[in-house]
Amino acid sequence: MLFYAPFLAFFVVFHCGLAARIQGNLDIYASKRLIQTGPSDKKWLTKNDIFNLSRSGTKFRDITDIDSSLISLRQKQLHIPDQPSLQQAIKPLFTNISDALPRRVLEGMAKFHNRFFNSRNGRESSLWLQQQITSVVAGIGGVEVVPFVHSFPQNSIITKIPGRSDETVILSAHLDSINKFDPEHGSAPGIDDDGTGVVVLMEVMRILASSQLKLNRTIEFHFYAGEEVGLLGSADIAHMYAKAMRPVVVDLQLDMTGFPTSPPVVGILTDNTDPGSTSLLRQIVSEYTDLKTQDFSCGYACSDHASWFEAGYRAVLPGESPLVTGNPHMHTSSDDISTVSFQHLLHYVNIALAFAVEVAGVTGS
């Protein structure tokens, strides 16, 4: 852990107020949490009850800290295109797509025993990732990388590529991992889930930030903490944006991109997502990849798109396949780099890059 020690020191020096707050809140499970497992099924549960839900594969949201007055609020629906039209700006960018950065970052992630949100590993892995992201965009004017601090040790990370307008397209993935048999101490490389979503975003960011494209709308990249324990990181952020009435056009969430079915197809999630943006997503897959799509649904709140959807914003999710539990290694110690299809993963760079640019638009000046 010597490698990130200097960075940690930097963080402590410049954010000591923050650090004190984190020390004071190390265990969010000191008291019971309000857990929702379905639209009208809410219970106050202990840490062990919650870990049992994970073990059994039950989908849930932790809504303890959510301001429910925002939940039914519909945000202003900003314009999204009916169909792709920016092929001439987008397709030339694909020649720069490579698996070099994705491989290097996944290998770095695999060195953490786990990235559990409520632990030292979870915190250190998020600081390490912030450093990796910062080095991808280093020297590129106007691009910001900032941690989003929660009431638990792990940070989320937000990177912003400003456009002419502050209307924002979000590309997102989660940076935490979990071993369902032993969440706090078990080994959880979390490479497909969701290292593969994280590295797709980083490759899109690398290409966009180094391109000469002038974006009309702003693009943000969100890396969420605490997804595996009830969408905690994305819920904090989506609610903060909703309260501030931030103009978010749509969120595209990537959660697992490297474990295809045979033959490979792109799963298109139909629950807790927006039908209009999802129709654009299907057309983007067919325009910018050689893969077919197949619809699927995951049940209640299976990933961070649900936080945006619930805060009144649009969301879409292209899945690695139309199966919710297609990868048998998910949430175990064997979710490692040997199981990843980089060929499949790189298709999601095309999809996320094209979706972001089509929705953001480009300007001549």
Q: Per-residue x/- marks for ligand NAG, 92-131, CB under 6 A? A: ----x-----------------------------------
Give the number of C-alpha atoms closer than 13 A to the C-alpha of residue 18, restricted to the C-beta side.
15
Which of the listed partners (Zn ion, ligand NAG, none) does 334 bind, with a CB threshold of 5 to 8 Å by partner kind?
A: none
From the CB of residue 69, how many other CB atoms can be counted at a distance below 10 Å?
8
Q: What are the Cα distances from residue 354, in Å, to 139, 259, 288, 338, 350?
A: 24, 21, 7, 28, 6
Decide if 227 is catalytic. Answer: yes
Torsion over CA: 83, 81, 76, 229 (sign): positive
Which of the listed partners (ligand NAG, Zn ion, none) does 192 bind, with a CB threshold of 5 to 8 Å by partner kind?
A: none
| Beta-strand relationship, 293-296 and 266-269 | parallel
CB of 102 to ligand NAG, least distance (A): 13
280 touches 198 (CB < 8 A): no
Peptide bond into 194 cis (omega under 30): yes
CB of 217 to ligand NAG, least distance (A): 6
6 vs 92 by CB, closer to ligand NAG: 92
Decide if 228 is catalytic. Answer: yes
Q: What are the Cα distances from residue 207, in Å, to 198, 281, 331, 342?
A: 15, 20, 30, 17
Residue 167 contacts ligand NAG per CB under 6 A: yes
From the CB of residue 289, how many other CB atoms can be counted at a distance below 10 Å?
20
Active-site residue, from 113, 150, 174, 305: 174
Q: Return the ∠ at Cα 298 (arms to 201 and 306), rounded to 5°.
A: 55
CB of 136 to ligand NAG, least distance (A): 8
167 vs 194 by CB, closer to Zn ion: 194
Decide if 193 is catalytic. Answer: yes
Span 198-237, contacts to ligand NAG by CB under 6 A: 206, 210-211, 216-217
54 vs 218 by CB, closer to Zn ion: 54
52 vs 286 by CB, closer to ligand NAG: 52
Applying CB under 6 A, the site for ligand NAG has a residue count of: 14
CB of 255 to Zn ion, least distance (A): 4
Phi, psi (deg, nearest 5) at residue 105? -70, -40
Active-site residue, from 124, 228, 310, 320: 228
SS3 label, residue 250: strand
What is the Cα–Cα distance from 207 to 203, expressed in whole angstroms?
6
Residue 49 contacts ligand NAG per CB under 6 A: yes
Q: What is the DSSP string of 24-75?
A: HT--GGGS-EEEEEETTEEEEE-HHHHHHHHHTT---EE-TT--GGGTTPPP
Q: Per-residue x/- marks for ligand NAG, 60-79, CB under 6 A? A: -------------------x
Span 193-252, contacts to Zn ion by CB under 5 A: 193-194
| Beta-strand relationship, 318-319 and 266-269 | antiparallel
CB of 225 to Zn ion, least distance (A): 12
Decide if 344 is catalytic. Answer: no
What is the Cα–Cα distance from 211 to 347, expressed in whole angstroms?
19
151 vs 211 by CB, closer to ligand NAG: 211
Indicate which residues carry an active-site annotation: 174, 193, 227-228, 255, 331
- Contacting residues toward Zn ion, per CB under 5 A: 193-194, 255
- Contacting residues toward ligand NAG, per CB under 6 A: 48-49, 52, 79, 96, 165, 167, 206, 210-211, 216-217, 361, 363
